[in-house]
Amino acid sequence: MTEPTQTGSQPLVTIDKLARSFAGVPAVKDVSFTVGAGEIHALCGHNGAGKSTVVKMLSGQLAPDSGRILLAGEPVGLRSRQAAQHLGVALVDQELSVVPALTVLENMSLGDIDAPLVVRRRAAVARCREVLDDMGLERLRPDQLVSTLSMGERQLVEIAKALSQRARVVILDEPTATLSDVESRRVFAAVRRVAARGCAVVFVSHRLSEVLELCDTVTVLRDGRAVVTTPAAGLSVEQLIVHMLGEAPHRLAATRRPDPDLTHALRVEHLHVPGRLEDFALTARAGRIYALAGQLGSGASDVLRALAGLHPRATGSVELRDRAVPFRNPVGAARSGIAFVSNDRKGEGLFLDKSVAWNLVATRLDRLGAGGVVGAGRERRTARSLAALATLPPDRLAAPVLALSGGNQQKVFVGRSLDRDDVHALLLDEPTRGVDIGGRAAIHRLLRSAADAGLVVIFASTELEELLELGDVILTMRDGRVVNTYEGGADGAVLMRDMTERKEAA
């Protein structure tokens, strides 16, 4: 771990009392910290603490409501991601900006306004080689197609690209979330080199032990405020968790459910998705709510997607109500009684331009009339009753779903799988992402009543409160495997540790 190099004058990045609200709801209230040249500064915080908003402001995607950002002592107004790039602020996040169809070399100068029109190939190859070697990527060739690289290598090329385009500040947002240990180590090595070059590095991650190993300083955010900025040396994961969650870790009372029906169970054995999920097994009983607690890359989401038929390479055996589920294609899974609510309601869930009513009945069209005909009256009645069930305002049935709030959109998404006698298992990935408190409570009620009505309910989430409140059985997952299973009472800090600590080296 290097000591942050003090230049004696201004730190390279100064965040001064940033604040930002969305429609009156504050996401960031008062965040200040500095990052010096050569310093690797971690930004930690639980969901909703404001990390992603701070990152967006620093990378130019959002303008702060108040507060300033200073680069090398000069206040800057970052109007867009491109403008930030011109000023030397590079962002490496899950939305990669490397194009797979191009070679490593071509990606390096893609979009660089300082690149000349005529390509000087020899000079460009030499510079690319230099940057790659500098980052320890001797194995990569400049004329290699990025599509032949693994996700980890693509991430590294993205970082190399930032360096090549003369970044002074590199922000990394969850760079190792979907990477293996080996690949993560290479990213760390690359980050250290980047810092050694004099860049300021902001490192956002939920993998706390990695954070402590790699970073010089840690700033913890909680509820939109920076609660502490401290050197990483001597800090432990437990102390970090305490900072992130508050004084005392959560301890919610166990809500025991009466012993539910065994015959209507979902039995999963040896579920395996190459590269993402290893040997997952679960017997989920109707009437109970099962929670898969795992961060991005833990495999929690992949369990649900595999069961819903969206992973054609999945292997294993899945039975619902003692009948085998053809889980390699979504039509088969749906016909067996599995309903899936994905974590991307806008891209893979709702039909945004269509009305609320259309969305609500979208998956039960063949039951709204005989012989494939949809009865208009029955459709109206069904839509209205579903809207009531999902506590949606009844006068919005004809409005396009796009116009609804995030919470109501999610209610529509969940609501369309309710009250169907052909649905026996309800799988939800991040059921309350982007939903306000009121909406979250409503959706939790919906899920509880669905379970009470005899459905198997399994959801994946990273929200501690949601996991503890809703989950009768909580399975913590990390790196494609189940870490622990908790029935009844569990501890927020324990869950957090399971989800974030790196596997001990074998």
Partner 1 sequence: MIRRFGLRQERLVPAAALLLVVVAFAGTPLTTGHPMTTFDVYNALQGFAQIGLLALAIGLTMMAGEFDLSVVGTYAVGGMIAVQAGQSSAVLGLLAAVAAGAAIGAVQGGLIAWLRIPSVPVTLAAYIALLGLAYVISGGLSVTFKNQHATLWVDQTVAGIFSPRSLVTLGAFVLAAVVLGGTRLGPELRAIGGDRRASRVAGVRVDRALVLLFTTSGTLAALGGALLNFSFASANPDPGLRPLLIATVAALLGGVSLAGGRGTAAGLLAGALAVALLAQIVAVAYLPDYSTQLFYAALLAVIVAIDSPGLRRTLERVRARTTTRAA
Partner 2 sequence: MTTDLRTGPPVAPARVPRRRPGSLAVALAVLVVALVPVAVTTDRFLTLDNARAILASAALVGITAMGATLVMIAGSAVSLASAQTATVVAMVFLATQDRGLVVATLLGLLGGIAVTALQGVAVGYWEANPIVLTIAAGFALGGGAIWLSGGTPVNATTDGYELFNSTPLGLPLAVYVLLVLAAVAQAILRRTAAGRQMYLIGENRAAARAAGLPVGRVLVLAWAFFGLCLAITGVFLASFNTSATTNLGGTLTLDAIAAVLVGGTAITGGKGSALRTLGGAVLISVIADILLIRGYSTGVQILVKGVLVLAVVVLVHVRAARGSR
Site for partner 1, rule CB under 8 A: 81-82, 85, 95-103, 106-107, 109-113, 115-119, 121, 143-145, 147-148, 312-316, 328-329
Question: Which of 288, 345, 411, 478 is in the footprint of partner 2 by CB under 8 A?
Answer: 345
Using the rule CB under 8 A, give the single segment among 44-52, 107-115, 148-156, 380-388 that binds partner 2.
44-52
Q: Which does residue 489 bind out of partner 1, partner 2, none, counting CB within 5 to 8 angstroms by kind?
A: none
| 53 is a contact residue toward partner 2 (CB under 8 A) | yes
Residues 79-138 that bind partner 2 (CB under 8 A): 93-95
> Residue 434 binds what, of partner 1, partner 2, none (CB under 5 to 8 Å, by partner type)?
partner 2
Q: Does 203 bind partner 2 (CB under 8 A)?
A: no
Tokens describing residue 75: 């206040």
Which of partner 1, partner 2, none interacts with 328 (beta carbon under 5 to 8 A by kind)?
A: partner 1
Residue 407 binds partner 2, judged by CB under 8 A: yes
Nearer to partner 2 by Cβ, of 53 and 103: the residue is: 53
The site string for partner 2 over 381-400 (x = CB under 8 A, - otherwise) reads: ---------------x--xx
Q: Does 411 bind partner 2 (CB under 8 A)?
A: no
**Nearer CB in complex with partner 2: 36/407:** 407
- Residue 58 or 195 having the CB closest to partner 2: 58
Q: Which does 117 bind (CB under 5 to 8 A by kind): partner 1, partner 2, none?
A: partner 1
Pairing of strands 315-320, 225-231: unpaired
Q: Which does 100 bind (CB under 5 to 8 A by kind): partner 1, partner 2, none?
A: partner 1
Nearest Cα to Cα of residue 19 among 52, 70, 67: 67
Q: Of how many residues is the chain composed?
A: 506
Nearest in space to 191 (alpha carbons), one of 163, 212, 217: 163
Burial of 226 from C-beta contacts in 10 A (0-12 / 13-18 / 19+): buried
The structure tokens 């004809």 sit at 398
Which CB atom, from 23 or from 505, has the smaller least distance to partner 2? 23
Residue 45 or 88 with smaller CB distance to partner 2 = 45
Output phi, psi for 168, to 5 deg. -105, -25
Residue whose C-alpha is closest to residue 47's, from 357, 430, 459, 480:
430
- Interior CA angle at 453 toward 283 and 348, to 5°? 70
Pick the closer one to partner 1 by CB: 36 or 175. 175
Q: Give how far Cα 8 sits from Cα of 15, 399, 470, Å.
A: 18, 59, 52
Interaction partner, residue 323 (partner 2, partner 1, none; CB < 5-8 Å by kind): none
Q: Under a CB-based contact definition with an 8 Å cutoff, are residues 49 and 222 in contact?
A: yes
CA distance linking residue 471 with residue 15, whole number of Å = 38
Looking at the Cβ atoms of 52 and 461, the one nearer to partner 1 is 52
385 binds, among partner 2, partner 1, none (CB under 5 to 8 A by kind): none
Q: Which of 260, 282, 278, 257 is nearest to 269 (CA)?
A: 282
Pairing of strands 200-204, 169-173: parallel
421 contributes a contact to partner 2 by CB under 8 A:
no
DSSP SS3 for 100: coil
381, 397 in Cβ contact below 8 A?
no
Of these, 4, 33, 37, 56, which contacts partner 2 (CB under 8 A)? Answer: 56
